[in-house]
């Protein structure tokens, strides 16, 4: 759903036009509900993203705002493509400073990284231009700035925004019992959707080496499970 569709669904329930309930106020309620959902977990699958970064010789820090389009929310892994895909290890920023700054200020092939004040630090400082692949989670887009842009979240979470906005409208009218009902619907909808969205993938039968045998009786091949 997009913002226009959410507003339409809300108005179907509360039976209020733009004179009684402005789009601006309704938009505020929807965005509030969206931000509450996003705040529940930092690792929503729909926010997964990869970035690339080319290091500068002798430069240890790189502002997160300068990576990609400045939408980095959290970095979970860094791979050095220039060194055979070596994975960098996340360390405490103070440890990085103690080992590689000051009297121990050295350059080399980065094998560790830290985050401090919204900047990515590589340890030790790169001694050449390195091609890095960063994986992590992006910031949500400002989808609500356009009525026609779809909510930047899994489809299973969209309906919850309708419930939240309805709850807020009824609360504004001091109809607390009805407001509480829709707020409970919001909480339950988010809880069920989040459990499904964040669920660990189901295990599947293990097939070694893709081994298969031919069943002459039925004229087709079947997988061999162990």
**Confidence check: pLDDT of 29 > 90:** yes
pLDDT of 208 reads 60
The two structure tokens encoding residue 80 = 């050095």
The CB-based long-range contact list for 194-203 (8 Å cut-off, 24+ gap) reads 194/37, 194/40, 194/41, 194/157, 196/156, 197/44, 197/45, 197/46, 197/154, 197/156, 197/157, 198/41, 198/43, 198/44, 198/45
* Separation of alpha carbons 195 and 9, rounded Å: 25
Give 139-186 pLDDT, tens digit per residue: 999 999 999 999 999 999 999 999 999 999 999 999 999 999 999 999
| Model pLDDT, residue 209 | 58
pLDDT of residue 222: 46
- pLDDT, one tens digit per residue, over 36-64 is 999 999 899 999 999 999 999 999 999 99
pLDDT digits (tens, 9 = 90+) for 133-147: 999 999 999 999 999
The rounded Cα 70 to chain-centroid distance in angstroms is 14
Using left for φ > 0, alpha for ψ between -120 and 50, and beta otherwise, residue 215 falls in beta
Question: Domain limits of the chain?
Answer: 3-42+153-197, 45-138
Interval 120-136 mean pLDDT: 95
């Amino acid at each position: 759903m997009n913002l226009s569709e959410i507003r339409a669904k809300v108005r179907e329930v509360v039976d209020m036009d733009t004179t009684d309930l402005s789009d601006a106020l309704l938009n505020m309620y929807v965005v509030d509900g969206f931000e509450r959902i996003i705040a529940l977990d930092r690792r929503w699958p729909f926010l997964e993203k990869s970035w690339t970064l080319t290091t500068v010789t002798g430069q240890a820090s790189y502002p997160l705002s300068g990576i990609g389009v400045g939408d980095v929310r959290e970095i979970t892994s860094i791979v050095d493509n220039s060194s055979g895909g070596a994975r960098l290890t996340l360390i405490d920023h103070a440890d990085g400073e103690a080992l590689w700054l000051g009297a121990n200020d050295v350059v080399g092939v980065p094998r560790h990284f830290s985050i401090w004040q919204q900047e990515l630090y590589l340890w030790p400082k790169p001694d050449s231009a390195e091609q890095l692949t960063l994986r992590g989670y992006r910031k949500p887009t400002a989808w609500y700035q356009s009525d026609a842009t779809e909510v930047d979240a899994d489809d299973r979470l969209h309906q919850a925004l309708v419930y939240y906005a309805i709850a807020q409208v009824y609360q504004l009218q001091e109809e607390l019992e009805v407001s509480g009902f829709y707020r409970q619907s919001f909480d339950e909808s988010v809880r069920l959707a989040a459990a499904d969205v964040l669920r660990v993938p189901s295990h599947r039968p293990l097939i070694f080496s893709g081994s298969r045998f031919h069943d002459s009786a039925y004229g087709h091949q079947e997988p061999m499970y162990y």
